[in-house]
């Protein structure tokens, strides 16, 4: 029998959580009671997870680096993060940080084993890893059993896993119908949250496996066992020959996330998993850009493209889902418009400058296509607007020179307007009086941003949300592989390029943010995104405590310089110090040495050696040796 302290530990109900979340809006109005995690987890009924990639956050230095993620997810109604892990040297350190932060912030977490890196033949290792963290206070328990999941993994010996874990693990892996038996698993996750051709690409004529068809296949295969259904806003990836993991395709997005949440409410799946919080490389992130991570090359299409509105859109649906309600209207706390669209129309020709066009790359995976991403024809040139209203109102949307007016009802509404080049404007009015309005910071243009095909959506809200730029580590690889010189590794949202058929002009240094102004005359505030000035001589007793890449050096140094300069090692040449102060102790050493990647210069030697030895080893510049 569980003691009261065990119940509190497993459910994460503590005063610390309330304190940590006081600055964020909760997932439902105060007068609506949401079924507790204790009630829902006891019978695997209406649980909400979100996939979190540990593999790109090896640069985090403490559990505090996870706090903002935990707090935002908790406020949205997410019950637990599925912590996707490979076999990186920093995995245990980051898992420790994540579990500690989750406990402090009233969240739950569990491990999701990524079998791109783990082997189905290593059931003992999987079980031992579960056992290592199962006693942590933030571990999710379902049916009073430690919960775990996976990405792929068919063929894993689940009995051996449980034996090695020393407990009856509640295991809901991403096994596939027809490839594994359901006899030893408790349920299964379906990863395919997008309509597809049955071969992990966009639908083709006569080949369209809808998300609903995937639901039905899994439910039929599982019988009475719980089905973990996917929810995702988008999918676009565009890695070229500048990396070893080249891939370039898109799944149809459109109104996917709004439509999918409606399906979830109607179908009442026992569990759902949002795909994902922070997989920026595949453009299905709902978490902040500023969430600390290193850049695997995704910043080329992620910079200036926040998706925070997708999380806002999900909040009332999550609350309704937990309460077994099919109507979100009573769960709308504040009226809001959430809008999204692509920054270019799909017919724009970027072949001359794109990182993949006419440029062969390793295609052992079969996922690399040159030029426009595979599946681009399935995309619509449309501006989507989800209106969450407490009473009926008039929604006006202007895309370029095209203005449409809609009558919205109380509750959730979806409107669509053909996308046109120019400014994008949004307004809500009642009785001919404007309630709120805004001009988007992102125009639709005929300029190939950074020279590439970018099918990632820009997501905004009215009223405007928080400022969410990529940080230094998240921009470190932006210029690598580009074939234009007009793109800089810095946020530039609000500095729209002129509409022109020629190359884009360099963005101004400053960026702007609009805060729900009238459409006709938007006041703005500015914040500088310029690099801080170098500081040359330290005062007595002080060392470098902040730095960045030196002027004229490759943006690939940004993450390394930001990290190492913070701890007093700021080698002149590639880096410049921007602040001095009392010495800061670096993260513990791991006993491993780092070396530059083949082809990188000697100026990386010291940076890679220092950073990798302290558990920050960015794969775009360094490797363990």
Instruction: Give 529-578 as a DSSP string.
Output: -SPPPP--SPPTT-EEEEEEEPTTS-GGGHHHHHHHHHTT---BTTEEEE
Q: What is the pLDDT of residues 608-625, one digit of tens each?
A: 878 887 889 988 888 987
- At 534 the pLDDT is 44
Q: How many CA atoms lie within 13 A of 66 on its CB side?
A: 30
Question: Averaged over 141-162, what is the pLDDT?
Answer: 98
Both tokens of 419, joined, read 């996308």
The pLDDT value given to residue 541: 61
Q: Which of 177, 141, 175, 170 is nearest to 156 (CA)?
A: 175
Residue 533 has pLDDT above 50, yes or no: no
* pLDDT reported for residue 207: 96
556 or 71, greater pLDDT: 71
CB contact at 8 A, 110 and 148? yes
Residue 498: pLDDT band by 50, 70, 90 thresholds?
Answer: low
- Per-residue pLDDT, averaged over 373-402, amounts to 98
pLDDT tens-place string over residues 395-429? 999 999 999 999 999 999 999 999 999 999 999 99
Give the separation between CA 216 and CA 385, rounded to whole angstroms: 29
Average of per-residue pLDDT values in the chain = 88
Q: Does residue 495 carry a pLDDT above 90?
A: no
Taking 60 as the threshold, does the pLDDT of residue 31 lie above it?
A: yes
Give the residue among 187, 184, 263, 251 at the shortest CA–CA distance from 218. 187
Quick check: bond before 463 cis, omega within 30? yes
Q: For the chain, what is the radius of gyration of the CA atoms?
A: 24
In the predicted model, what is the mean pLDDT of residues 204-212?
A: 97
Query: For the chain, first and last CA: distance in Å?
Result: 49
User: Is residue 139 pLDDT above 80, yes or no?
Assistant: yes
Residue 46 scores a pLDDT above 90: yes
Read off the pTM.
0.79
pLDDT at 584: 85
Average pLDDT on 50-79 reads 97
Backbone angles phi, psi at 67, to 5 degrees: -60, -45
* Residue 9 pLDDT: 39
Distance (Å, whole) CA 317 – CA 372: 34
Burial class (CB within 10 angstroms; exposed 0-12, middle 13-18, buried 19+) of 579 = middle
Residues whose CB is less than 8 angstroms from the CB of residue 40 and which lie 6 or more positions away in sequence, other chains included:
46, 47, 79, 322
Question: Highest mean pLDDT: which of 528-532, 604-608, 621-625?
Answer: 621-625
Per DSSP, 158 falls in state H
Q: How far apart are CA 575 and CA 573, in angstroms?
A: 6
Q: Are strands 457-462 and 411-418 parallel, antiparallel or unpaired?
A: unpaired
For the residues 191-199, what does the mean pLDDT come to?
Answer: 97
């Amino acid at each position: 029998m569980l003691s009261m302290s065990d119940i509190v530990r497993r459910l994460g109900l503590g005063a610390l959580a309330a304190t940590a979340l006081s600055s964020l809006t909760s997932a439902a109005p105060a007068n609506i009671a949401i079924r507790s995690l204790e009630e829902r987890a006891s019978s695997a009924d209406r649980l909400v997870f979100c996939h979190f990639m540990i593999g790109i956050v090896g640069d985090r230095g403490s559990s505090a680096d996870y706090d903002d993620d935990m707090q935002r997810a908790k406020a949205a109604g997410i019950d637990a993060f599925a912590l996707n892990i490979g076999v990186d040297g920093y995995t245990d350190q980051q898992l420790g940080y994540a579990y500690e932060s989750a406990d402090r912030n009233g969240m739950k977490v569990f491990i999701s084993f990524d079998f791109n890196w783990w082997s189905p033949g290593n059931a003992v290792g999987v079980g031992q890893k579960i056992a290592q963290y199962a006693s942590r206070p933030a571990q999710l328990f379902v049916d009073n059993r430690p919960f775990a999941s996976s990405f792929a993994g068919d063929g894993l010996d689940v009995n051996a896993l449980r034996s090695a874990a020393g407990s009856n693990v509640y295991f809901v892996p991403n096994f596939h119908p027809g490839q594994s038996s359901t006899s030893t698993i408790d349920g299964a996750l379906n990863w395919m949250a997008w309509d597809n051709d049955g071969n992990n690409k966009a639908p083709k004529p006569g080949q369209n496996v809808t998300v609903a068809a995937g639901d039905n296949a899994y439910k039929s295969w599982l019988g009475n066992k719980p089905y973990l259904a996917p929810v995702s806003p988008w999918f676009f990836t565009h890695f070229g020959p500048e990396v070893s993991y080249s891939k370039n395709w898109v799944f149809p997005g459109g109104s996917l996330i709004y439509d999918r949440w409606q399906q979830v409410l109607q179908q009442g799946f026992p569990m759902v998993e949002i795909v994902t919080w922070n997989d920026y490389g595949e453009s299905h992130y709902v978490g902040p850009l500023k969430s600390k991570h290193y850049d695997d090359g995704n910043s080329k299409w992620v910079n200036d493209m926040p998706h925070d509105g997708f999380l806002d859109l999900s909040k009332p649906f999550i609350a309704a889902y937990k309460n077994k309600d099919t109507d979100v209207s009573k769960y709308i706390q504040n009226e809001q418009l959430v809008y999204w669209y692509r920054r270019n129309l799909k017919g724009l020709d970027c072949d001359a400058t794109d990182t993949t066009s006419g440029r062969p790359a390793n295609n052992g995976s079969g996922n690399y296509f040159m030029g426009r991403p595979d599946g681009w024809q399935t995309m619509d040139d449309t501006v989507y607007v989800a209106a969450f209203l407490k009473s009926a109102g008039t929604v006006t949307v202007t895309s370029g020179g095209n203005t449409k007016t809609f009558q919205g009802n109380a509750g959730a509404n979806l409107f669509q307007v053909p996308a046109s080049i120019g400014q994008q404007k949004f307004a809500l009015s009642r009785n001919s009086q404007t309630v709120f309005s805004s001009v988007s910071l992102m125009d639709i243009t005929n300029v190939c941003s950074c020279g590439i095909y970018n099918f990632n959506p820009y997501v905004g809200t009215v009223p405007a949300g928080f400022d969410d730029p990529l940080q230094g580590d998240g921009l470190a690889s932006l210029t690598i592989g580009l074939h234009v010189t007009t793109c800089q590794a810095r946020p530039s949202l609000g500095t729209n390029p002129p509409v022109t058929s020629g190359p884009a002009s360099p963005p101004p240094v400053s960026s702007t943010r609009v805060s729900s102004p009238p459409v006709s005359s938007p006041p703005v505030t500015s914040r500088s995104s310029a690099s801080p000035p170098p500081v040359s001589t330290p005062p007595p007793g002080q060392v470098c405590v902040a730095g960045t890449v030196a002027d004229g050096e490759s943006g690939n140094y940004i993450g390394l310089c930001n990290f190492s300069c913070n701890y007093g090692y700021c080698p002149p040449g590639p880096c410049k110090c921007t602040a001095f102060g009392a010495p800061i102790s670096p993260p513990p050493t791991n006993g491993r040495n780092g070396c530059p990647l083949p082809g990188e210069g000697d100026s990386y030697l010291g940076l890679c050696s220092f950073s990798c030895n302290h558990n920050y080893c960015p794969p775009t510049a360094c490797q363990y040796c």
